[in-house]
C-alpha cells in the first residue's frame, strides 16, 4: 500500500478533490463557459492560493514564492512565442510561404493528406529533435496555414504531431530527467554491477518502444481529426486513404526511434526519426499508388515571388543551422564548446526555500535563463534572415516595422494566458497539491497501476506544459510505486515519459503558443477540448500496453 | 497599435512589475511582508482579469 508522504496532509478523498479543484475549474471555465484563458487562469490561481493556504498549510511566503517563480518560468516560453512570431512575420512579408506551399503541393502531387502528415507530423518531429519548448508548433503551424489548411486544424495537428517525440527530442533533456538517485541505485543493484548508469540502456529501449507506440496513436489521431475538415461525402474515406501513409510514417519513424535509442545514442533519437520521416515521407509516399497525382498540370499560386525553395525557406534553415551549431551535444560522446560558452552567460534570481506548515519543502535555487534559451536563438536567426532576405531583394520597405507590430498584436493574447496559467501551476506544485494528486492516484491503483501511471505523466504535462518538468516532478514517485509493487520500473517510467510527452498537446501553455502563432487568441479552450479528448485516449492506450506487458506478459524485470 | 492590445501589454507589465517588486522587496521580509507582496500580485492579476 502506497503511503502519503508525511510532509503532505493525510490521505482523504475530500483533500484529493480539493487539490484537483484548480484544474477542474480551469477546464470547466474554458470548455463549458468559454471563459478566456487569462481569466480562467486568474480565477484558478486565486482558488489555488485559498486551498493551498487552508488545506495544505502553505504560508504567504510559499504562495508568493510560487507566484514569482510562475511568472519567471513563463519568460522563456513568452520569448519563444514573440520571437517565433516575429520570424514568421518576416518570412511572410517576403511572400516565401507561397513558394514553400507551391513546392510541397508539387512534391505531394497536391495531396492534402500527405501535406498534413508530412508538414504536421514528420516535420515537427524533426524540429523537436533539436529544439523543443514549443518551437515545432510555432514553426509548423504557420507553414500549414500557408498551405491553406484551416488555422484550428493546423494548430491541433502541429500540437499532436510534435508531442510524441519529446522524450528523445530537445537532444534528450526529457529522457535525462527520468533519472532519480534511488532509481539509479536500484538499477545498479538490478544489473549486478552497482553502476548507477545501469538504468540507461533498458530505459532507452522500453522508453523508445512506448514512444514509437505513441507515434502510431498520434498519426491515427491526426487522421481521425482531419475528418472534421473534409466535405461530408469524403469523411468515410479519409481513414482508408490516409492509413497507408500513417502506417508508413509511423513504422519508419518508430523503427528508427527504437533503433537509434537502443543501439546508438538516445539523445538524438527524435532528430534522426524526424529526418527519416520527413525525407522518406516526401520522397516515397507521393510515389505510392494510393497517392499518385491526377495528372492535372500544377499551377503555382498567384503572386508567388521569384525565389527558389531554399531561398524562401532560408529564414527557417538559418534557425536549424544556428540551433545545431549552438546546441548539438551528446552526453558522454560530444561536448559543444559554443553551447558551454553561451550557457555560461546567465541571469536570474535566487528563489527562497519554501516550506509549508506540513513540511513540504521546495529547496532554494538559482532560477536562471542563459543564452542557449531558444528565444535567443530565434531572435538571432530572425536578424540573419532579415539580412539574407534583404540581400536577395525579397524584403519590402517597412517590413521589419510591420512585422514587429503584427507580432505584438498576435502574441499578446497568448502572453496573458501563459502568465496566469503558469502562476497557478507553480503554486500548485510548490504547495504540494500536484504531488498529493499523484500519490492519491498511486494509492488507490494497486495492480491496476500500470494502467493509471500514464495519467500521472499526463497530469504533470498538463500542469507544467513540459514533458521534462513532468518527468522531474513524477519520475521519483513512479519509481517508488513500481518498486513497492515489485513491477518493472523501466516500463512504468516508459509509460510516464510517453504520457508526459503526449500531454504536451493538451497543455494550456502550448495551446496558447498555438493560438498565438495562428492569430486565434481566445480559442485555447476549443483546442484543449479536442487535444484533451485525444490525450485521454492516448494515455489509456499507453496504460493498456503497460498492463499487457507487466500484468499479462510479466516483462521488463 | 489598437487600444485593446495596449491595455493587455500594460496588464502584462503590471504583473511583471508586481512580481519583481515582490522578489526584491517583500519576500525577504518573511510572512508578514509576503502578504503585502501577494496583495500587490493579486491587484496586478485583477487588472489582467479585467482587460482580457
Give the DSSP per-residue string, A112-160.
HHHHHHIIIIIHHHHHHHH--TTHHHHHHHHHHHHTT--HHHHHHHHHH
Whether A557 is in a domain gets the answer: no
Chain B residues touching residue A42 (CB < 8 angstroms): 45-46, 48-49
Cβ–Cβ below 8 Å for B48 and A419? yes
Q: Is the model's pLDDT at A478 over the cut of 60?
A: yes
Whether A96 is in a domain gets the answer: yes
- Please state, as a whole number, how many other Cβ atoms lie within 10 Å of the Cβ of residue A320: 17
Cβ–Cβ below 8 Å for B12 and A36? no
Question: Any CB–CB contact under 8 A between B35 and chain A?
Answer: yes
E-strand ranges in A396-553 read none
Distance CA A557, CA A58 (A): 40
Whether A409 is in a domain gets the answer: yes
Whether A3 is in a domain gets the answer: no
Of B15, B27, B42, the CB nearest to A419: B15
> Among A98, A84, A171, which Cα is nearest to A136's?
A84
Q: Is the model's pLDDT at A330 over the cut of 80?
A: no
Whether A297 is in a domain gets the answer: yes
Cβ–Cβ below 8 Å for A49 and B19? no
Cβ–Cβ below 8 Å for B9 and A412? yes
pLDDT per residue as tens digits for the range A436-445 = 988 888 888 8
Q: Is the model's pLDDT at B16 over the cut of 90?
A: yes
Q: What are the start-end ranges of the H helices in A171-312?
A: 173-176, 181-191, 200-226, 235-263, 269-284, 309-312
Chain A residues touching residue B31 (CB < 8 angstroms): 59-61
Count of domains forming chain B: 1
Name the residue with higher pLDDT: A510 or A256. Answer: A256
User: Can you tell me the ipTM of this complex?
Assistant: 0.96
pLDDT per residue as tens digits for the range A405-456 = 988 887 787 788 878 888 888 899 899 998 898 888 888 888 899 999 999 8
3-class DSSP assignment, residue A349: strand
CA distances from A466 to A81, A287, A400 (A): 15, 37, 32
> Grid coordinates in use for A273?
526519426
pLDDT per residue as tens digits for the range A261-274 = 998 878 778 988 99
Distance CA B49, CA B36 (A): 20
pLDDT per residue as tens digits for the range A2-53 = 778 899 999 899 999 999 999 889 878 877 888 888 898 899 999 999 999 9
Which of the given ranges, A41-50, A167-176, A185-194, has the highest pLDDT on average? A41-50
Name beta bridge partners: A365: A351
Q: Which residue has the cell 560522446?
A: A333
Count residue pairs from A and B with Cβ separation < 8 A: 79
> Grid coordinates in use for B28?
525577504
Range of the domain at A229: 13-552
Phi/psi at A157 (nearest 5 deg)?
A: -65, -45
Contacts 24+ apart (CB under 8 A), A331-337: A331/A172, A331/A176, A331/A267, A333/A265
Count of domains forming chain A: 1
Band (pLDDT 50/70/90 cuts) for residue B7 is very high
Range of the domain at B23: 3-51
Whether A83 is in a domain gets the answer: yes
Spatial contact of A82 and A412, defined as CB atoms under 8 Å apart: no
Amino acid at each position: 500500500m502506497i503511503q502519503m508522504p508525511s510532509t503532505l496532509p493525510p490521505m482523504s478523498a475530500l483533500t484529493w478533490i480539493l487539490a484537483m479543484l484548480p484544474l477542474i475549474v480551469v477546464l470547466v471555465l474554458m470548455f463549458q463557459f468559454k471563459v478566456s484563458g487569462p481569466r480562467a487562469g486568474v480565477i484558478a490561481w486565486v482558488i489555488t492560493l485559498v486551498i493551498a493556504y487552508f488545506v495544505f498549510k502553505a504560508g504567504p511566503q510559499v504562495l508568493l514564492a510560487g507566484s514569482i517563480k510562475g511568472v519567471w518560468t513563463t519568460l522563456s516560453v513568452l520569448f519563444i512565442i514573440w520571437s517565433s512570431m516575429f520570424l514568421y512575420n518576416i518570412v511572410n512579408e517576403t511572400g516565401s510561404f507561397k513558394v514553400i506551399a507551391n513546392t510541397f503541393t508539387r512534391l505531394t502531387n497536391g495531396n492534402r493528406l500527405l501535406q498534413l502528415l508530412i508538414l504536421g507530423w514528420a516535420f515537427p518531429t524533426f524540429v523537436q529533435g533539436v529544439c523543443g519548448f514549443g518551437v515545432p508548433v510555432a514553426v509548423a503551424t504557420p507553414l500549414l496555414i500557408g498551405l491553406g489548411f484551416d488555422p484550428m486544424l493546423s494548430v491541433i495537428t502541429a500540437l499532436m504531431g510534435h508531442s510524441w517525440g519529446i522524450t528523445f527530442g530537445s537532444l534528450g533533456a526529457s529522457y535525462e530527467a527520468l533519472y532519480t538517485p534511488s532509481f539509479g541505485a536500484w538499477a545498479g543493484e538490478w544489473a549486478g554491477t552497482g553502476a548507477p548508469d545501469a538504468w540507461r540502456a533498458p530505459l532507452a529501449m522500453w522508453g523508445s518502444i512506448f514512444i514509437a507506440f505513441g507515434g502510431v496513436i498520434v498519426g491515427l489521431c491526426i487522421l481521425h481529426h482531419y475528418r472534421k475538415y473534409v466535405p461530408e461525402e469524403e469523411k468515410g474515406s479519409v481513414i482508408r486513404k490516409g492509413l497507408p501513409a500513417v502506417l508508413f510514417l509511423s513504422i519508419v519513424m518508430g523503427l528508427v526511434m527504437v533503433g537509434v535509442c537502443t543501439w546508438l545514442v538516445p539523445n538524438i533519437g527524435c532528430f534522426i526519426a524526424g529526418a527519416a520521416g520527413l525525407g522518406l515521407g516526401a520522397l516515397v509516399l507521393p510515389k505510392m499508388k494510393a497517392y499518385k497525382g491526377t495528372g492535372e498540370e500544377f499551377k503555382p499560386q498567384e503572386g508567388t515571388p521569384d525565389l527558389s525553395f531554399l531561398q524562401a525557406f532560408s529564414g527557417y534553415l538559418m534557425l536549424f543551422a544556428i540551433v545545431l551549431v549552438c546546441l548539438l551535444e551528446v552526453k558522454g560522446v560530444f561536448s559543444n564548446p559554443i553551447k558551454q560558452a553561451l550557457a555560461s552567460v546567465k541571469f536570474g534570481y535566487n528563489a527562497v526555500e519554501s516550506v509549508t506548515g506540513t513540511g513540504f519543502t521546495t529547496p532554494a535555487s538559482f532560477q536562471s535563463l542563459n543564452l542557449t534559451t531558444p528565444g535567443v536563438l530565434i531572435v538571432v536567426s530572425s536578424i540573419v534572415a532579415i539580412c539574407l532576405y534583404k540581400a536577395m531583394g525579397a524584403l519590402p520597405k517597412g517590413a521589419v516595422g510591420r512585422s514587429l507590430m503584427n507580432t505584438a498584436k498576435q502574441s499578446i493574447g497568448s502572453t496573458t494566458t501563459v502568465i496566469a496559467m503558469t502562476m497557478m501551476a507553480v503554486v500548485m506544485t510548490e504547495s504540494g497539491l500536484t504531488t498529493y494528486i499523484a500519490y492519491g492516484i498511486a494509492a488507490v491503483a494497486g495492480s491496476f497501476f500500470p494502467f493509471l501511471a500514464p495519467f500521472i505523466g499526463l497530469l504533470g504535462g498538463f500542469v507544467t506544459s513540459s514533458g521534462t518538468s513532468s518527468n522531474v516532478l513524477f519520475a521519483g514517485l513512479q519509481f517508488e510505486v513500481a518498486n513497492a509493487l515489485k513491477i518493472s520500473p523501466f516500463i512504468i517510467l516508459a509509460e510516464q515519459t510517453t504520457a508526459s510527452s503526449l500531454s504536451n498537446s493538451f497543455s494550456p501553455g502550448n495551446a496558447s503558443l498555438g493560438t498565438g502563432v495562428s492569430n486565434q487568441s481566445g480559442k485555447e479552450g476549443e483546442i484543449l477540448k479536442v487535444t484533451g479528448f485525444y490525450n485521454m485516449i492516448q494515455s489509456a492506450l499507453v496504460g493498456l500496453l503497460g498492463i499487457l506487458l507487466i500484468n499479462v506478459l510479466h516483462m521488463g524485470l | 497599435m489598437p487600444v485593446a492590445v495596449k491595455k493587455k501589454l500594460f496588464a502584462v507589465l503590471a504583473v511583471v512589475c508586481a512580481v519583481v517588486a515582490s522578489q526584491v522587496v517583500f519576500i525577504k521580509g518573511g510572512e508578514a511582508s509576503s502578504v503585502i507582496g501577494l496583495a500587490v500580485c493579486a491587484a496586478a492579476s485583477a487588472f489582467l482579469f479585467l482587460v482580457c
